Amino acid sequence: MPGPIAYDWLVDSQTNRRANPDRPSPGDVTALAVAVPDLGGLLSGWADVGHGTLPRRLAHALRRAIQSGVLPTGWRLPPERQLAESLAVSRTTISEALDELRGEGLLRSTQGRGTFVSSPVQAAPVGTRVADHLSVGRGVDLATGNPPDLSHLPNVEIDMSLLTASGGGPGVYVMGLPAMAEAVADLYRRGGFTGPPRRTDADEIHITSGAHQAMSLLIAALVGRDRPLALAQLNYPGIFDILDGQGLRAAPVGIDSAGMLPESLEQVIVEQRPAALYVQVGPHNPTGKVLPPARVRALAEIVDRYDVAVIEDNTLAALTFPGVSRPETFLDACRSAPVVSIGSLSKVCWAGLRLGWIRAPQPLIEQTMYRRLSIDLGASAPSQLIALSLLPHLDDIAAERRRRLVEAVEYGHALLSEAMPEAVIGRPEGGSVLWTELPIADSGPFVSLARRHGVHVAPGSICVTGRLPGPYLRICVDRPLDLLREGADRLARAWRDARPSPLVAG
Ligand SMILES: Cc1ncc(COP(=O)(O)O)c(C=O)c1O
């Protein structure tokens, strides 16, 4: 069993229980109270995280350590030879990784003096938030928020006649197979999975490669460089990757325990004139909360008043737990503001299908089609044929998913309360995430430590505007129960290693 990471934890539960006004900024390394680390320990598991070659992965791990302030500005790295030895890689791997960070301005080398951390506040490279929690490597994965397997799905066969009915031929349809667009339009017309029944034509549907692509296309179509996208300051990590990737700005809206605050939304609209608002009515990723209907109405009244377009992400709506009212939608609550919605089969069926959709007025659908053509030529036909075979069973599949998730959330909550007694673990109203607050200033180093213990959880910072370090973990419990137990046991061991007990107890 590897030993504990050799640095001190800033543990101050009183400070963390407050709204964290004095939470350290990424550049404020003194506040992190880190006696700078044994790099081997800090970067442990680096080769299993991130994407690409070994040097790229090493650069990724070092970048994270610098950007979270764990490696302070001015700190001198050990010589390359020593680094190569302690990380058990070649000198070439080290120099390529350091070159990459020098290129980004995060490291600076001076002849004869060595290599120094240059700046912790550089903008992160594009796309790293989702990468950080999706690319897992060895160990128990409690980070990826998707169904773990296909065991909740009926056995279906691809029905090629559906392709033939769609026109057959090469099978390339940028807006989706006509039969698929029609089937999704029908989901809206029938209601249930997509909320109350709504008139919807197939030409108001664009089949995308998941909700993530749907968001990306809509944001590209609706948000220009001169105006930001308003969104809750705590959010699905992918939305920030999308904004970074398109060089766009976020206008963060404040939240309370129920979700987005109307007064903060109004202030953001008045002061920053956002081009659109992105909302999850719930269950929200990562808090698992459903916006209360009165809150949806108050927010809708504001977007109506200022005529702000709304991008409503209903990806998780069908996973609202029994006993919690299904979220009221902006589509219903808004009287005049344009509302477009996004859906997906990832959370209810299987994320590997890579199928989602946009529902929007036809002219906007057409705009997203042109954006789409700059990226790819449409979703995979076999995926859509599988989906078409699953759709008739969708209500039963969703019910089974809810049943399993309720069980996993209950079990996971009990296990994690035992594993980390000082943690405050959220009670989601749907979905698969336990949003967990630890009595430490920055959960990032604990995530690295947990990885050394063979369990992968995500730091809450990937869900926050500015990626500020904070005390939260995003733990996905959508796993078979025995795997969940194993993951919780490993987290318990990591937590025992992490806490210098007098500090946590105080
Ligand atoms: C709120 C939200 N929107 C969108 C997505 C992306 O889903 P998809 O796999 O359909 O691209 C996710 C996935 O975690 C999500 O939680």
Q: Domain check: are 22 and 127 in the same one?
A: yes
Q: Domain check: are 81 and 127 in the same one?
A: yes
In a domain, 254, yes or no: yes
Question: Once rounded to an integer, what is the mean pLDDT over residues 175-200?
Answer: 94
**Residue 82 lies in domain:** 13-145+432-505
Q: Using the 3D structure, point to which of 367, 393, 419 is the last residue of a domain.
A: 393
Report the residue among 279, 281, 289, 346 best suited for mutation to probe ligand 1: largest number of ligand atoms under 8 A from its CB: 346
pLDDT at position 210 over 90:
yes
- Cis-peptide, bond into residue 262, ω within 30° of zero: no
Q: Domain check: are 377 and 483 in the same one?
A: no
Q: Domain check: are 208 and 337 in the same one?
A: yes
Q: Say yes or no: CB of residue 312 within 6 Å of ligand 1.
A: no
In whole numbers, what is the pLDDT of the chain averaged over residues? 87
Question: Once rounded to an integer, what is the mean pLDDT over residues 7-16?
Answer: 29
Please enumerate in sequence order all residues whose Cβ is within 8 A of that of 249, keeping only pairs 6 or more positions apart, or say none: 228, 229, 243
Q: Domain check: are 191 and 95 in the same one?
A: no
SS3 336: coil
Q: 204: CA distance to ligand 1 center in Å?
A: 21
Q: Domain check: are 138 and 198 in the same one?
A: no
Residue 255, domain CATH: 3.40.640.10
Q: Using the 3D structure, point to which of 393, 411, 444 is the last residue of a domain.
A: 393
Number of structural domains in the chain: 2
Q: Of 10-14, 371-375, 493-497, where does mean pLDDT reach its minimum? A: 10-14
DSSP state letters, 11-57: --HHHHHTT-TTPPPTT-GGGGT-----HHHHTTTGGGSSSSSHHHH
Query: What pLDDT is recorded for position 7?
Result: 27
For residue range 69-81, list pLDDT tens digits in order.
678 778 889 899 9
Q: Of 288-292, 363-367, 419-423, 466-470, where does mean pLDDT reach its minimum? A: 466-470
For residue range 476-490, list pLDDT tens digits in order.
999 999 999 999 999
Q: What's the pLDDT band for 113 if we cut at 50, 70, 90?
A: confident
Q: Domain check: are 51 and 122 in the same one?
A: yes
pLDDT at position 224 over 70:
yes
For residue range 303-345, list pLDDT tens digits in order.
999 999 999 999 999 999 999 988 899 999 999 999 999 999 9
In a domain, 447, yes or no: yes
Question: Once rounded to an integer, what is the mean pLDDT over residues 467-471?
Answer: 89
Q: Domain check: are 254 and 337 in the same one?
A: yes
In a domain, 403, yes or no: no
Residue 86, domain CATH: 1.10.10.10
Q: Domain check: are 337 and 216 in the same one?
A: yes
In a domain, 208, yes or no: yes
pLDDT at position 2 over 80:
no
> Which is nearest to 132 in space by CA: 486, 464, 498?
464
In a domain, 3, yes or no: no
Place of tokens 């608002």: 277
Query: What pLDDT is recorded for position 21?
Result: 33
Q: Say yes or no: CB of residue 315 within 6 Å of ligand 1.
A: yes
For residue range 230-243, list pLDDT tens digits in order.
999 999 999 999 99
Q: Domain check: are 22 and 171 in the same one?
A: no
Q: Domain check: are 138 and 178 in the same one?
A: no
